[in-house]
Structure 1
């Protein structure tokens, strides 16, 4: 568990699945994702997140507001499930409920996840990626000190040719940049 000023990053609980499914069914939240998820697909993603923690000792934390105890999404670290020129790598990612956007929660949680990655986990570099038009996520990447080199941009191999979300921008940050 990691605590920040306003948030708790923790392992997942069974009761997180209902609000997680609602988040994954949201048109706003899934605007730059391949599709909105059904409840079964959302539960499957939660299972994969739990399996990642069990198999690797780290993963995507459930994010809870300290003031209300509400589950608001996830933030954390994961190993991408595809091959790309920048692999092997550990990715930082986040997905928060739309009602909690614009309050700095994603940045706050991502900073804590980076500190965990470069501290206890001993990682030397962390990446993040999204579609070029996802300015909100790109803004978080820049606020936490990540940098973008257009030469690193790539076509996501899990998306079909012609899919408008296939092209991705890659951001990086190294441990020495955070020291």
Structure 2
């Protein structure tokens, strides 16, 4: 299950992806809008869960590589969200890229391909995306995808336990297939 864009390859995970993925998940700047850094063990567990999603659902977070160089730069894809919220269950488009891959349009390019897969191959009626309200870079990607934000959909993320954390307030963006 591979998706190719002009500059990127979105593919299933390889054993060789685990080390650079762990480094990405241990980078404080990359993980700035997440509750914390991931240890190598937790990073590897995430890869295992992603692969399980592909096996069970037929979609997941594809490993992302640059076509020209073959370099692994993170992930982009679709994830089923089932935590307790007014909009769940929902399929979310998401991405996490290594810092040196930022600013090249890779997140938008690969997220467009993931959204197209969700609508065209999976027949989804809607895809959402969410992030901490303060994460302006990811919000900009959501807007470039044509997603819309209604402040009435904003929520407090249950995974961020501290009520005072600036990461607790989350925004929700939506994209419907008819868009």
TM value normalised by structure 1: 0.97
Distance, in Å, in 1 between the alignment partners of 2:99 and 2:82 is: 26
| Alignment correspondent of 1:167 | 169
| Alignment correspondent of 1:67 | 68
| Alignment correspondent of 1:121 | 122
Q: How many residues align?
A: 177
- What do you get for the CA RMSD once the two structures are aligned? 0.8
Q: Over residues 84-120 of structure 1, what are the superposed CA-to-partner deviations in whole Å (9 max), with x where a residue is unaligned?
A: 1001210000000000000000000000000000001
Alignment check: 8 A CA contact 2:76 2:107 kept? yes
Distance, in Å, in 1 between the alignment partners of 2:55 and 2:82 is: 16
- Aligned-pair CA distance for 1:133: 1.1
| Alignment correspondent of 1:83 | 84
- Aligned-pair CA distance for 1:81: 4.1
- Aligned-pair CA distance for 1:33: 0.5
Distance, in Å, in 2 between the alignment partners of 1:167 and 1:46 is: 27
- Aligned-pair CA distance for 1:164: 2.4
Q: Over residues 111-152 of structure 1, what are the superposed CA-to-partner deviations in whole Å (9 max), with x where a residue is unaligned?
A: 000000000111000000001111110000000110100000
1:1-150 alignment to 2 at 5 Å? 1-150=2-151
Distance, in Å, in 1 between the alignment partners of 2:112 and 2:14 is: 23
Distance, in Å, in 1 between the alignment partners of 2:164 and 2:52 is: 32
Distance, in Å, in 2 between the alignment partners of 1:166 and 1:9 is: 30
Structure 1: state its 5+ residue gaps. Answer: none
Alignment check: 8 A CA contact 2:82 2:90 kept? no
Distance, in Å, in 1 between the alignment partners of 2:97 and 2:40 is: 17
Structure 2: state its 5+ residue gaps. Answer: none
TM value normalised by structure 2: 0.97
Distance, in Å, in 2 between the alignment partners of 1:4 and 1:62 is: 13
